[in-house]
């Protein structure tokens, strides 16, 4: 499905991003993965092998996405698609219920989850416009953006940032459609990643999750559950799809 494609994954050295990198390779793509942590970057190099390039950098810093795209062009001869996975919980900054939230927690959570998306998307759009070939962007949303879970997941800045990603993506999808630049969002439910350990290790939370995500016997999602849709939306098979938010949530949205 992705034969000859050259794809940059922001947040591609662990969890959902690393699983996607492996899936994209199986579909025939060459991959550049940007990760924040040197340890996970080293592991990703070992897993992904020769048909990939791994970089370490902070996605919230200007220039990191540009560097990843430049490396993709240098190493593999082009750049066709961006998958922005990087982001995370703002709990460590103080994100939580609104009445307990600080301005600092709000700002840092938005920087981590929204500003980073703007930077990678801007870099991608600038390149696609410059080469006049079109291209595909896929951003990471969350089921919490449209289906809250106040009992266990009351992180209001995170939910707001993920909802903003939906609006941002639809807006750029509309604006750049005439240039054949597509932009979509994949919105997972609770997925077992390093970020999700607070939830997956808590049986009370997991009882709730199994009710909200009843598919396949009721469980947390796994990173590979997102790979099929991500592959499709970055491929030419999705050439007439843009501005969409697609949930991969085991039924969360309808429960």
Q: Among all residues, which ones are annotated catalytic?
A: 158
> Length of the chain in residues, anyone?
255
Dihedral over Cα of 182, 187, 193, 197: its sign? positive
**pLDDT over 90 at 111, yes or no:** yes
How does the average pLDDT of the chain come out, rounded?
Answer: 97
C-alpha atoms less than 13 angstroms from C-alpha of 126 in its C-beta half-sphere: 11
Q: What is the per-residue pLDDT for 74?
A: 98
Q: What mean pLDDT is predicted for residues 141-169?
A: 97
**pLDDT over 90 at 195, yes or no:** no
Q: What mean pLDDT is predicted for residues 108-123?
A: 98
Q: What mean pLDDT is predicted for residues 108-131?
A: 98
Would strands 245-248 and 135-140 be described as parallel, antiparallel, or unpaired? unpaired
Q: pTM, whole model, 2 decimals?
A: 0.97
Contact 8, 79 (CB under 8 A): yes
**Could you give all domains of the chain from N- to C-terminal order, each with its CATH number?**
6-193+222-250 (3.40.50.720)
For residue 231, the SS3 value is helix
What's the Cα-to-Cα distance from 83 to each of 28, 32, 106, 195, 214, rounded to whole Å? 16, 10, 24, 18, 27
Q: What is the per-residue pLDDT for 96?
A: 97
What pLDDT digit, counting tens, does each position of 7-30 carry?
A: 999 999 999 999 999 999 999 999
Query: What distance in Å separates the CA atoms of residue 3 and residue 126, rounded to the nearest whole number?
Result: 24
Contact 30, 52 (CB under 8 A): yes
Q: What is the per-residue pLDDT for 89?
A: 93
What pLDDT digit, counting tens, does each position of 88-97 carry?
A: 999 999 999 9
Confidence of residue 228 (pLDDT cuts 50, 70, 90): very high
Confidence of residue 206 (pLDDT cuts 50, 70, 90): very high
For 4, other C-beta atoms within 10 Å of its C-beta total 12
Q: What mean pLDDT is predicted for residues 65-78?
A: 98
Q: What mean pLDDT is predicted for residues 147-156?
A: 96
* Cα dihedral 55→22→30→189 (10° resolution): -80
Confidence of residue 51 (pLDDT cuts 50, 70, 90): confident
Q: Which residues contact 18 (CB under 8 A, 6 or more apart)?
A: 12, 33, 40, 44, 47, 48, 223
**pLDDT over 90 at 194, yes or no:** no
**pLDDT over 90 at 170, yes or no:** yes
Confidence of residue 180 (pLDDT cuts 50, 70, 90): very high
Q: What is the per-residue pLDDT for 50?
A: 82
Contact 33, 17 (CB under 8 A): yes
């Amino acid at each position: 499905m992705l034969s000859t494609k050259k794809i940059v994954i922001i947040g591609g050295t662990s969890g959902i991003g690393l699983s996607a990198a492996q899936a994209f390779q199986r579909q025939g793509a060459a991959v550049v993965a940007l990760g924040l942590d040197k340890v996970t970057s080293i592991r990703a190099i070992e897993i992904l092998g020769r048909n990939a390039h791994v970089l370490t950098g902070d996605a919230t810093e200007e220039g990191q996405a540009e560097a990843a795209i430049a490396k993709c062009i240098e190493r593999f001869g082009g750049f066709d698609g961006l998958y922005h996975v990087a982001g995370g919980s703002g709990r460590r900054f103080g994100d939580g219920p609104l009445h307990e939230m600080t301005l600092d927690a709000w700002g840092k959570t938005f920087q981590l989850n929204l500003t980073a998306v703007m930077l990678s998307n801007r870099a991608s759009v600038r390149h696609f416009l410059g080469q006049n070939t079109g291209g595909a962007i896929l951003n990471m949303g969350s089921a919490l953006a449209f289906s809250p879970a106040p009992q266990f997941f009351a992180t209001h800045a995170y939910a707001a940032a993920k909802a903003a990603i939906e609006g941002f993506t639809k807006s750029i999808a509309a604006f750049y459609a005439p240039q054949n630049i597509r932009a979509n969002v994949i919105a997972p439910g609770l997925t077992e990643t390093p970020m999700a350990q607070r939830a997956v290790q808590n049986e009370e939370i997991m009882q709730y999750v199994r009710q909200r995500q009843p598919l396949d016997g009721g469980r947390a999602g796994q990173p590979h559950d997102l790979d099929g849709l991500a592959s499709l939306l970055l491929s030419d098979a999705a050439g007439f799809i843009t501005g969409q938010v697609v949930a991969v949530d085991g039924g969360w949205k309808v429960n």
